[in-house]
Amino acid sequence: MSNEQTFIAIKPDGVQRGLVGPIISRFEQRGFKLVAMKLCSPSKEHLEKHYADLSGKPFFNGLVTYMLSGPIVAMVWEGREVVKTGRAILGATNPLASPPGTIRGDYAIDVGRNVCHGSDSVENAKKEIALWFNENELISYKQAQFDWIYEKA
């Protein structure tokens, strides 16, 4: 399925450190299609909902404070196996365990400042996309380079 979608976000540290361009470039250059993008400052409630699965963790409050510390770039990217491949492009949750060549392995050190988010399953991607975007913000178009990226749709 070349129309799988994932939710990718550039966290406040990534925005403030001028990493928006380099992070977007990695998804563009791989061949994935940008479907939605906005710079936003979500509420505490929104971020608590986004990370609801982690609400019992000792770092949860710090995580929400971190995510509230500045604007976030929220995006939807589309393409074959983009959920799994997006996670590979981001790297491991702990940047020190993430090899060079990954976003976190190239640009981050601490787990609590790991510059980016990516959905961890197709099911969670659907939930996250619905939480962060209205349906009319998801843009439907044919990627001009589609036939140069995919052998078959």
Give me the sign of the Cα torsion angle 125, 144, 148, 23.
Answer: negative
Least separation in angstroms between residue 60's CB and Mg ion is 13
Q: How big is the chain, counted in residues? A: 153
In the beta sheet, which residues pair with residue 9? 74, 117
Q: Segment 35-64, which members bind ligand GDP (CB under 6 A)? A: 54, 59, 62-63
- Residue 77 near residue 90, CB atoms below 8 Å: no
Separation of alpha carbons 96 and 91, rounded Å = 10
- Residue 145 near residue 31, CB atoms below 8 Å: yes
Question: Of 6 and 114, which CB lies nearer to ligand GDP in the complex structure?
Answer: 114
* Residue 149 contact, options ligand GDP, Mg ion, none, Cβ 5-8 Å cut-off depending on partner type: none
Q: Which of 67, 75, 117, 128 is catalytic?
A: 117
**Coil, strand, or helix at residue 74?**
strand
* Residue 150 contact, options ligand GDP, Mg ion, none, Cβ 5-8 Å cut-off depending on partner type: none
Q: Segment 88-147, which members bind Mg ion (CB under 5 A)? A: 120
**Is 46 tagged catalytic?**
no
Least separation in angstroms between residue 102's CB and ligand GDP is 11
Separation of alpha carbons 119 and 126, rounded Å = 9
The answer to the question of residue 150 lying near ligand GDP (CB under 6 A) is: no
**Footprint of ligand GDP (CB under 6 A):** 54, 59, 62-63, 93, 111-112, 114, 117, 120
What are the catalytic residues? 117
